Structure 1
Amino acid sequence: MANGNTAPATQQQRRHFNLVRNVATCLLALFVLVGLAVLIAWLVIRPKRFVYTLENGSVQNFNLTDNHLNATFDFVLKAYNPNSRVSLYYDYMETTVTYEAQTVAFNTIDPFFQPHRNVSRVEAKLVALNLALSPSTFKDLRIEKSSGEIEVDVHYKSRIRLKVGIWKSNHRILRIVCPSVIVHLSWYRHFDKIPCEIEP
């Protein structure tokens, strides 16, 4: 009796083992195929990192009065797409100027499309209108103003989609920061180009 019950149980275990092995084999084959597809796509597309540079920056009507700031900032961002097959949709873009971690000016930029192997220049005008400053920020800005230049950070935030052939990716957020931007209060002073960083 004991031996008679053992045989069906052994067969059931063997069938269960074969089922698990077959499922594992199918999953492994699927992972390998997906990996090969991704590798082939990468070898064909050869994606390269987008490059961003702040080409120009200026400020006009800069005025500090009673802990308040009035100013108009103008910046030109050069966006370089070195890819031969990847294009980029910028569905929206925000530009922010910060000083000592305080936002002093903000604006939005119209959506645009950047083809492959393309250089686009993105112009932004940001206005600080009677902006209230903390006493310490006001003091530091006044000191920098007396030197004829101020140092700010310029941030860009965009919702983008990649395009390869007819395929388009899902939306993702692109953040670009151009740190330690020296803006001269005198229009005739030369602006030094700033390489910008893509934040993870």
Structure 2
Amino acid sequence: MNMEHPSTRNILSRSSDTGFIRRLALTVVSIFVLLMAVIGIAWFVMHPHDPSFAVTSLSVSNFTVSDSQITSMYEVRLTVTNPNKKIQLILDDFNVVILYSEVVLSMAEVQQPLLLVKMSNKSVNVELVMKNSVKLVQENLVKEWNKGVVNFDVKMVVRVRFEAGIWPSKEKILCVYCEDLDVEFYSPKNTGKLLGIVKNCHIVDAKP
């Protein structure tokens, strides 16, 4: 009669359990890696394009100069375009900054997420208020203002979510720059509007 010692049975049982757990873990990891590879290939094939941005209007109102400060209000009108044929975009955490000589004058956030279906565009209005400014910026800005034209820049930082059917969404943070926005001021010089045609913006940084 073959009598197996109890401790031997326990060792074999533990060994069997350990082997099963290892095989299960390996299977789960393999499935996960395969799934990630399939998703990566799918997004590579779809080749999502970043949205494009343009400033269609920039107006300044209530521009007031005193000995100690400058106050003004800005309204920026943007057009955002989704160039993708198979992917819709959702833009949120949408922050807009207006600058003069690389110095921030004012900033604001677009409150509502922006949904862009395939091959579409939408307009966004952003209002900003400026109160006070550093002395050097104030002096240079007033000089340009007295000549009738002031050059501004607009910068945006926005989170973009790419969505395509059943596939998991993909996100990216974009830094967008709109340069050389000449605003002409009219008599009595407290209001101004963008000169020329629509100004296209360019993406200077993109982070996944």
TM over 0.5: yes
- Cα shift at 1:134: 2.4
SS in 1 for 2:49: coil
Give, in angstroms, the shift of residue 94 of structure 1.
1.0
Point out the more displaced range, 90-99 or 45-54.
Answer: 45-54
Shift of residue 80, structure 1, vs aligned partner? 0.9
Q: Which residue of 1 aligns with 2:98?
A: 97
Pairing of 1:22-33 with structure 2 (within 5 A): none
Deviations 1:139-193 (A, max 9, x none): 1011100111211110111122111113343543221110121122235774432
- Output the CA distance in 2 between the equivalents of 1:108 and 1:46: 29
Match of 1:107 in 2: 108
Cα distance change of structure 1 residues 41 and 175 upon mapping to structure 2, 3 Å threshold: closer
Q: State the alpha-carbon separation in 2 of the partners of residues 188 and 199 from structure 1.
A: 26
Separation in 2 of the partners of 1:166 and 1:195?
33
What is the CA–CA distance in structure 2 between the aligned matches of 1:124 and 1:37, rounded to whole Å?
36
Compute the TM-score of the two structures, normalised by the length of structure 1: 0.73
Q: Which residue of 1 aligns with 2:199?
A: 194
3-state SS in 2 of match to 1:85:
coil
Q: Distance in 1 between matches of 2:105 and 2:159?
A: 22
- Aligned identity (percent) is 20
The change in CA–CA distance for 1:149 and 1:76 in structure 2 (over 3 A counts) is same
Number of positions where the alignment pairs a residue of Structure 1 with one of Structure 2: 167
TM-score calculated relative to the size of structure 2: 0.71
Q: Hey, what does 2:128 align to over in structure 1?
A: 126
Alpha-carbon RMSD across the aligned residues, in angstroms, is 2.4
